Structure 1
Amino acid sequence: MKDNFSKNSADYAAFRPEYPAAVYPYIFSFCNDKTAAWDCGTGNGQVAKVLAENFTTVVATDISANQIENAVTKDNLHYSIQPAEQTDFDAASFDLITVAQAIHWFDFEAFYAEVRRTSKKEGVLAVLGYGVFSMEGDTNAILQHFYKDIIGPYWDAERKYIDDNYTTIPFPFEDLNTRTFENTYSWSIEDLVGYLSTWSAVQHYKTKNGKDPVALLFDDLQKTWGPNPKKKANFPILLRIAKINQ
């Protein structure tokens, strides 16, 4: 698994979008029990914290110590630095395994073997993500140009799985029927810039060129922003769910 997020883990915790509240009870409705859950590639723990409010015990793993240092804490939430593909968890441990906006970085075959090993009989795997977002008004055209043409060459190859809305990830399980979710934010220009700064392609651009592409974009964003201090940002939610070890 690649680690593209340790350097800006504080920004990641501050600016990354959350998942809509309705997605969680929908996922939980597939679970037979709520005793134990594992959140893989937990990052700042944004999913793990919700799991901890609904499951007796939650473990959350990431390969980035910096991400975990900035993660949410709960009494029944236990973090460890481990790759999702090889953990020290006991077999048949979890009622639910989640991976949010991270599976495209994993070694699929090794990860799915670990899912099968650690899942209880009829445990649930929920793969979440958020697709390429859009903003209202003329600002969206500026952002699409930025995404595709300015930093497009700097995305890792795995980003294509996001562009394909996770429909092309290897998924060796029977998909359960899933609803469609989306999340809408009211963002200031500072919120938008903060989010863009968390993108791995932006970090790669900065490393290669010695300058921040988001800063170069700022004037164009201001010109299209208009009189209102906030604009709507819409994120399509990616979701695949399966029962494991049936």
Structure 2
Amino acid sequence: MKDNFSRQSGAYAKFRPVYPPELYQFIFGQLTHFDRAWDCGTGNGQVAAALATRFGDVEATDISAQQLERAVRKPNIHYSCQAAETADFPADHFDLITVGQAIHWFDHDRFYPKVQEVLKTGGVLAEFGYRLFRSTPAINEVIDHFYQEIIGPYWDEERRHIDDGYARIPFPLEPIPAPVLFMEYRWTWDELLGYLSTWSSVQHYLRQRKTDPVALIRAELEKAWAGADHRGIRFEILLRIGRK
């Protein structure tokens, strides 16, 4: 698993979108036991914090120590800096395993055997993330050009899994039919810019070319924003869920 987010862990914690209650309600509705959960690639701990409202114990792992330092603290969450593919947990240990906006970074040939090992029979694996956001037609046009043409070459190869909806990532468990869900927000201009700054491709561009690529579209994007205090922002959630 690559560590693309340690450098901007502060912005990541501040500006990354938060999954809606409906997502967790659906996942929890597939379970009958709430003893232990594992959140893989936990990042800033937002998913772990939601799991902690229902589970007795939550294990949350990430390879970024910087992310874990900023993660949400709750007494029943235990954070550890370790890779999901080699995480040290007992067999048949978890009722639920979650992976939020991270499965595309994993070594799937190594991760899924680990899932089969530590997930209880009848336990659930839920993988979720989100596609490129949508807003007004004018904003979408600027963002699409930025995403594809300006920073397109700076995305890691794994990003393709988001673009094609996880279609090329194997899923070894019995699938559970999932609803189509969305994250919807009213963002300020500063929130939009802050979110763009968290993109790994933006950080790759910045390190390689020593200039901020967002500056290249700022005037055009501001024109599309049209001086509004807030604009609607919508993310389609990618969700795969299955039972062992």
How far apart, CA to CA, are the structure 2 residues paired with 1:204 and 1:227? 30
The residue that corresponds to 1:47 in the other structure is: 47
Q: CA deviation digits over 1:8-59, x for unaligned, max 9?
A: 0010000000111111010011112001000000000010000001101001
The residue that corresponds to 1:188 in the other structure is: 188
Amino acid at match of 1:139: I
How far apart, CA to CA, are the structure 1 residues paired with 2:32 and 2:22? 19
Matched ranges for 1:206-217 at <5 A: 206-217=206-217
Matched ranges for 1:22-33 at <5 A: 22-33=22-33
How far apart, CA to CA, are the structure 2 residues paired with 1:227 and 1:102? 34
The residue that corresponds to 2:149 in the other structure is: 149
Q: CA deviation digits over 1:63-99, x for unaligned, max 9?
A: 0000001100000011000100011111111000000
Query: Is the CA contact 1:40–1:97 (under 8 Å) kept in the aligned structure 2?
Result: yes
How far apart, CA to CA, are the structure 2 residues paired with 1:84 and 1:183? 26
Pairing 1:229–2:233 present: no
Aligned residues: 244
How far apart, CA to CA, are the structure 1 residues paired with 2:27 and 2:142? 35
The residue that corresponds to 2:20 in the other structure is: 20
What secondary structure, in the 3-state scheme, does the structure 2 residue paired with 1:80 have?
A: strand
Shift of 1:132: 1.2
Larger displacement relative to structure 2 (62-71 or 207-216): 207-216
Shift of 1:137: 3.7
The residue that corresponds to 1:159 in the other structure is: 159
How far apart, CA to CA, are the structure 2 residues paired with 1:114 and 1:90? 10
What secondary structure, in the 3-state scheme, does the structure 2 residue paired with 1:158 have?
A: helix
Query: Is the CA contact 1:32–1:123 (under 8 Å) kept in the aligned structure 2?
Result: no
How far apart, CA to CA, are the structure 2 residues paired with 1:203 and 1:109? 28
How far apart, CA to CA, are the structure 1 residues paired with 2:192 and 2:130? 15
Q: CA deviation digits over 1:127-184, x for unaligned, max 9?
A: 0101111111411100110001100011011000000122221112222111110011
Larger displacement relative to structure 2 (60-69 or 132-141): 132-141
How far apart, CA to CA, are the structure 2 residues paired with 1:183 and 1:35? 28
The residue that corresponds to 1:176 in the other structure is: 176
Matched ranges for 1:88-167 at <5 A: 88-167=88-167
The residue that corresponds to 1:73 in the other structure is: 73
How far apart, CA to CA, are the structure 2 residues paired with 1:110 and 1:139? 40
Amino acid at match of 1:17: P
Shift of 1:216: 2.3
The residue that corresponds to 1:243 in the other structure is: 243
How far apart, CA to CA, are the structure 1 residues paired with 2:22 and 2:66? 29
How far apart, CA to CA, are the structure 1 residues paired with 2:175 and 2:160? 20
How far apart, CA to CA, are the structure 2 residues paired with 1:234 and 1:133? 5
Query: Is the CA contact 1:32–1:122 (under 8 Å) kept in the aligned structure 2?
Result: no
The runs of at least 4 consecutive aligned structure 1 residues that moved more than 4 Å come to: none
How far apart, CA to CA, are the structure 1 residues paired with 2:172 and 2:234? 30
How far apart, CA to CA, are the structure 2 residues paired with 1:78 and 1:188? 34
% same residue: 52
How far apart, CA to CA, are the structure 2 residues paired with 1:103 and 1:227? 37
Shift of 1:215: 2.2
TM-score (norm 2): 0.98
How far apart, CA to CA, are the structure 2 residues paired with 1:13 and 1:149? 27
Amino acid at match of 2:214: V
Larger displacement relative to structure 2 (217-226 or 149-158): 217-226
Shift of 1:7: 0.3
Structure 1 segments unaligned to the other structure (5+ residues): none
RMSD of aligned residue pairs (Cα, Å): 0.9
